[in-house]
């Protein structure tokens, strides 16, 4: 595992990524009210489904999934990549006010071996399975069956 990791560091390299959920509302007052609800223990996904103006993420409880730098509008992007993880933030954009929470963030570069291990294991097992299949196909292609039975043709 460690040998594969060292030999394939370039292939294991990844881009920075942020995973975010948000609630989009038109006014700052609405955003502040939602922040107060969330601090009081309200369910983010439920509020997003009921109040978010983003038709793409509201049905998913506000979940935008994960994305790289520069894929969102500037203020949202900045909050996603430099704001705190796991805390409610509010940012204004051309679309309105976003109440957002960064659920996960990964830095660009090569992940540590412990994090890359499941991917390496999957890669190596896939390669082993492919080698086995290739050997079986080669074996079938080289086996000959000389006893070809021909049946008389009736006239």
Beta-bridge partners for 23: 99
Q: What value does the mean pLDDT take over residues 38-49?
A: 96
Phi-psi region of 109 (alpha: psi -120 to 50; beta: other; left: phi over 0): left
User: Which three-class secondary structure state does DSSP give residue 67?
Assistant: strand
pLDDT-based confidence at residue 151 (cuts at 50, 70, 90):
low
pLDDT digits (tens, 9 = 90+) for 79-89: 999 999 999 99
Q: Where are the beta strands (DSSP E) in the chain?
A: 17-25, 63-67, 88-93, 96-106
For residue 16, give both structure tokens.
């920075």
Q: Which residues contact 2 (CB under 8 A, 6 or more apart)?
A: 113
Instruction: Please state, in angstroms and rounded to a whole number, the distance separating the CA atoms of residues 21 and 139.
Output: 52
Instruction: Tell me what pLDDT residue 108 has.
Output: 72
Q: Is the pLDDT of residue 118 over 90?
A: no
pLDDT above 70 coverage of the chain, percent: 91
Instruction: Please state, in angstroms and rounded to a whole number, the distance separating the CA atoms of residues 42 and 53.
Output: 18
pLDDT digits (tens, 9 = 90+) for 123-141: 888 888 999 888 888 877 6
For helices 44-51 and 28-39, angle between their N-to-C axes, nearest 10 degrees:
150
pLDDT digits (tens, 9 = 90+) for 7-21: 777 777 778 899 999
Instruction: Tell me what pLDDT residue 11 has.
Output: 78
For residue 82, give both structure tokens.
């430099």
Q: Residue 74 CB: number of other CB atoms within 10 A?
A: 11
Name the fold adopted by 17-106.
Answer: Chitinase A; domain 3 (3.10.50)
């Amino acid at each position: 595992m460690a040998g594969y990791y060292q030999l394939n560091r370039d292939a294991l390299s990844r881009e920075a990524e942020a995973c975010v959920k948000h609630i989009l509302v038109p006014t700052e007052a609405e955003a502040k009210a939602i922040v107060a609800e969330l601090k009081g223990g309200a369910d983010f996904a439920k509020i997003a489904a009921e109040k978010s103006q983003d038709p793409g993420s509201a049905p998913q409880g506000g979940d935008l999934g994960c994305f790289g730098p520069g894929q969102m509008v500037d203020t949202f992007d900045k909050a996603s990549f430099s704001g705190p993880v796991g805390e409610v933030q509010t940012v204004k954009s051309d679309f309105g006010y976003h109440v957002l929470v960064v659920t996960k963030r990964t830095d660009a570069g090569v992940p540590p071996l412990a994090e890359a291990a499941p991917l390496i294991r999957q890669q190596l097992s896939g390669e082993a399975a492919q080698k086995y299949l290739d050997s079986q196909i080669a074996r079938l292609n080289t086996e000959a069956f000389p006893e070809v039975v021909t049946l008389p043709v009736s006239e």
